[in-house]
Amino acid sequence: MNPSDLIPVADNLTAHWGWFQFLLMLTFPLHLFAMNALLGAGMIAFVSHLLPGRVHHELSDELAKALPFLVAFTVNLGVAPLLFVNVIYGHLLYSSTVLMGLFWLAVIPILIIAYYMAYIYDFNFKKLGNLAMFVLMGVLALLLLVGFIFSNNMTMMINPSTWIRWFSTPGGTLLNLADPVLLPRYIHIITGSLAVGGLFTAVYAATVLKHDFEVSEAGQRLGMRLFTWLTLLQFVIGTWFLLTLPQEVMKRFMGGDALSTALLAIGILLAVATLVTGYQRRVMISLWLTLPLVYLMSFLRDSVRTGYLTPYFDMTKVPVDAQWSPLLFFLVTLVLGIVVIVWMVSKLPAFKRSN
């Protein structure tokens, strides 16, 4: 059977595809920033539990206060890019989701449990004592599990040749474990998230936690170490990920596609620059270098998706049935939402204390 025969017909777009692609690439990195901050702060808090002294205990306590907010931001900022992926690639994502429906439906209860445990870790930090570390371990494990489920779905979405397995296993329990790209892709994403999350922790410690010099210094030290060492490790994991890609996709980054090759080269240069500033513990400069780097990595991820789907789908050929009101309503809501979020963050006690 030809894999193309399994692909449903794409729905008509309500506006030119460029609008949805632009909004996808605008909003997805915002979700990444929140997710990175969540995983990085959680990891630093966990490491601090293992280190002796009041300073590390206080650092864990301070980061515990941030975790529920970071879970909320991660989930909410993930809604918009998921919707835009559905608009453009909905016929593909729906198909891959059906294949692993049981695991996909489990994402919601897993996130609810992780969110609830983050609040337990925060509100009962002192009461829990040494048990707090294990509650945090549970939060991190559940979040990593959600990431693994997403990686399975996104890799199956772009590889319709794997869908034929449904005929032998139609119960919605399929994962993409046989794909050689799955593991390096997942590790690449998680390692990068922890690295950027370490930088977030350093920034958080340098600003919000500056009222306690020792705690602030500990947060910056641990955060920048995590950022630097994992960024260095990313060169190895990124190379592994690149080499496991199908040859026709890998060639896009080796001169086959000028834009993809240029973005990869710029990304490598930025990563090297962050290594230097990270080693020097120049927190804010590292931040300003990392912000465009995360966007670049998102563009590279999109190029990988395009390379995989070239034989099966071309978004530029999807018919357009113009309906501008939903897009305009989204844009207005987005702007108002950003204003409200900025106002809410400004009212947080930690934010006020840092100023």
User: What local confidence, expressed as pLDDT, does residue 32 receive?
Assistant: 94
pLDDT per residue over 288-305, tens digit each?
Answer: 999 999 999 999 999 999
Q: Could you tell me the CA-to-CA distances from 186 to 147, 192, 233 in Å, in that order? A: 8, 10, 14
Would you say how long the chain is, in residues? 355
The percentage of the chain sitting over the pLDDT mark of 90, rounded to a whole number, equals: 77
The dihedral through the CA atoms of 232, 201, 295, 108 has a sign that is positive
Angle between helices 283-309 and 17-50 (to 10 degrees): 130
CB 300 within 8 A of CB 293: no
| Residue 185 in domain | yes
| Residue 175 in domain | yes
Number of domains observed in the structure of the chain: 1
| Residue 269 in domain | yes
Q: Residue 39: which of 194, 205, 214 has the closest Cα?
A: 194
Burial status of residue 44 (CB atoms within 10 A of its CB: 0-12, 13-18, 19 or more): buried
Say if residue 354's pLDDT is above 60.
Answer: no
| Residue 115 in domain | yes
Q: Report, as an integer, the average pLDDT of 267-292.
A: 94
Say if residue 120's pLDDT is above 90.
Answer: yes
| Residue 254 in domain | yes
Mean pLDDT of all residues belonging to the chain:
92
Say if residue 132's pLDDT is above 70.
Answer: yes
CB 103 within 8 A of CB 177: no
User: What local confidence, expressed as pLDDT, does residue 308 receive?
Assistant: 95
CA distance 294 to 300: 10
For residue 162, the domain's CATH number is 1.20.1630
User: What local confidence, expressed as pLDDT, does residue 274 receive?
Assistant: 95
| Residue 202 in domain | yes
Q: Residue 100: which of 162, 30, 57 has the closest Cα?
A: 162
pLDDT per residue over 308-322, tens digit each?
Answer: 999 999 999 999 988
CA distance 163 to 99: 7
| Residue 240 in domain | yes
b/e burial code for range 127-165 (CB count within 10 A of at least 16 → b): ebeeebbebbebbbebbbbbbbbbbbbbbbbbbbebbee
| Residue 51 in domain | yes
DSSP state of 11: P
Q: Residue 46: which of 107, 110, 135, 144 has the closest Cα?
A: 135
The dihedral through the CA atoms of 8, 13, 14, 20 has a sign that is positive
Domain of 138?
17-313+346-350
User: What local confidence, expressed as pLDDT, does residue 170 receive?
Assistant: 86
Name every residue whose Cβ is closer than 8 Å to that of residue 104 and which is 6 or more positions away in sequence. Answer: 97, 149, 153
Burial status of residue 256 (CB atoms within 10 A of its CB: 0-12, 13-18, 19 or more): middle
pTM summary value? 0.91
